[in-house]
Structure 1
Amino acid sequence: MTTLIFDGTWAGVLCCVFEIFDKKLRDVKVVRENHFQPDAFSTASRVYSDETRAKRVWAGLAQRISKKSMSSLYSSYLSELPQIENVICGFIRLTFEMDESPEYAYANPTVLRISQVDKMVHREKHRMEAFVRFQLTKDGLYYASVEPDFNVLPLIAKHFKNRYADQRWLIYDLKRNFGIYYDLEIVSEVTISNSGNNVNKEDIFQEDEHLYQKLWSEYFKHVNIAERKNQKLHLMHVPKRYWKYLTEKNL
């Protein structure tokens, strides 16, 4: 058994695939460096991220599978689920070793798992696109805090850039301590301090922001039809773990 240790990046995953084929490794396990634990029954080898090697693997995949399947691999990586890197590497190995694309071979557990995880991640992506609630800061920036189950900020950037193209905004993932910031031209990843809820909101947000939030909450109350309320269905679409960042649930 060979254990490949990588830095946790997407490029690192692709470089692990390159290493597997370059050294003709068969019995392989891929592990993020922050999860690695020495094992007496395996040989550890560190794989360093190399953009040139990563691009070679990605270009090779583009010739064998559809863009949708390539997107599914990246979405699966963003899930951050345990052992997902091994599943991704397993799928890519199948792609290069089989004569035909394995993307629809759902009888294979590796292919099925990628499909399942991709659906989970995109479900979370759509929820974030619906549940983000911006607040206007005193410097004219629209700010929103989120804590998604999966690392979906890279997937929602295009949606918010297109929808709010005329305003500066920042969506910050408190769980992973990074955000995406739009400056009216490009979206970039940022890290800030004091991003939690323990900051003094009166020092940050516009004085009339609370009024707008109250109006938004009142709107939801008035459009609600109590006689048709279905709490079970509501919780299916809006799980409670998202409520603390929804304006209409907290006023």
Structure 2
Amino acid sequence: MAVSRFSASALPATSAPPTRPRPAPQLTNAPLDYAYDGTFEGLLTVLFSVYDRKSAPNSIQPLGAVQGGLFVQPVEVVTDEATAARVWKGLLQYMDAEARTRLFHTFLSEQPDRELVIFRYADLAMRAGRDISEHYADDNVRRVQRLAQQMYREKHRMEAFVRFEKTQDGLFHATIEPDFDVLPLIAAHFTKRYADQRWLIYDRRRHYGLYYDLHRTDIVQFDAGTAPQRSTAVSATVLDEREPLYKLLWQAYFDHVNIPERKNLKLHRRHMPLRYWKYLSEKQPREQRFEPIRNKRPVQPGGPALGAGVADAE
């Protein structure tokens, strides 16, 4: 079934920021521990609650990971979509759209202290009354910038390394296991590139996926036991009968474009990390032994190296 997850692109369009942003309220009350539902909308609602209560956060934790003390119970903040949209729009008074997007990427990075990093970055921007994206003397600014770069790198790799398999009912499915939660970031790319076919990309680590039905892309979640597994575990009765041939053709193409004399495993693993290999068709064990294509004549002394067909034509 489809589940709701926050996406920055789903928020309403915003107008130009005012010339003089309103200063952030002073947090004069005692600090509090906050708990929320784990969504980005919920976190934005927490940010509003911090300034509404005028109480800085000691901690901001998802409800499933709350670690309360004997005498201290966290304040549970109920997610409000209208409030979240208001906060998201209000951030443009203190930073440009690119800097604001980096906060969303920081949230998707799933770092243990991501909530406090986002709060501190936003609070610093509101205190400064201007964009602080180049204020690298601050540790939170550096972390947001670094995490955004890591997210972009992971997004780019997922767009390159996803390998689909076709099932008997015409669905193209792929399983991934990225380091960060990048599904919300790659949805637009695959929706545009594969608009003429039904597909499913499933994040095995986070137990949800993207499903495109030829009309729209939805976020879906599966019950335990029904989630797609890695390609090598899919029953052959589920796959299209031509799928093994497609896999063989892809492996043959990969082998023939490879240049053994230029083999550089260190560089290869830098561009294609080992953790992705188990989901790549070209990295699976070969069912047929590789045989090079013998369509070239040896170089003749004093003459150019020509293909057999070209030589015969002359």
TM-score (norm 2): 0.77
Q: Which runs of 4+ in 1 moved over 6 A?
A: none
Cα contact 1:13–1:89 (8 A) shared by 2: no
Query: Which of 212, 217, 220 lines up with 2:251 in the alignment?
Result: 217
Unaligned runs of 5+ in 1: none
Query: Which of 229, 236, 258 lines up with 1:196 in the alignment?
Result: 229
Q: Deviations over 1:143-198 (max 9, x none)?
A: 10000111100000001111111111110111111110111111101123241248
Greater CA deviation, 92-101 or 114-123? 92-101
3-state secondary structure, aligned to 1:58? helix
- In structure 1, the residue matched to 2:144 is 114
Q: How far apart are the structure 2 equivalents of 1:194 and 1:54? A: 31
Give the letter for the 1:195 counterpart: P
1:237 shift after superposition? 0.9
Alignment pair present for 1:125 and 2:175: no
Question: How big is the alpha-carbon RMSD for the aligned residues of Structure 1 and Structure 2?
Answer: 1.4
Query: Which of 196, 200, 205 lines up with 1:175 in the alignment?
Result: 205
Give the letter for the 1:249 counterpart: K
1:93 shift after superposition? 1.3
- In structure 2, the residue matched to 1:226 is 260
Cα contact 1:30–1:86 (8 A) shared by 2: yes
1:97 shift after superposition? 1.9
Q: How far apart are the structure 2 equivalents of 1:191 and 1:36? A: 24
Greater CA deviation, 28-37 or 203-212? 28-37
Alignment of 1:1-251 (within 5 A): 1-40=31-70, 42-192=72-222, 193-197=226-230, 200-250=234-284, 251=286
Q: How far apart are the structure 2 equivalents of 1:146 and 1:152? A: 10
Identity %: 43
1:92 shift after superposition? 1.3
Give the letter for the 1:149 counterpart: D
3-state secondary structure, aligned to 2:196? coil
3-state secondary structure, aligned to 2:133? coil
Unaligned runs of 5+ in 2: 1-30, 287-314
Q: How far apart are the structure 2 equivalents of 1:52 and 1:160? A: 29
Give the letter for the 2:106 counterpart: S
Q: How far apart are the structure 1 equivalents of 2:279 and 2:61? A: 34
Give the letter for the 2:130 counterpart: E
Give the letter for the 1:155 counterpart: L
Cα contact 2:207–2:227 (8 A) shared by 1: no
Structure possessing the higher radius of gyration over alpha carbons? 2
Aligned residues: 251
1:64 shift after superposition? 2.2
TM-score (norm 1): 0.96
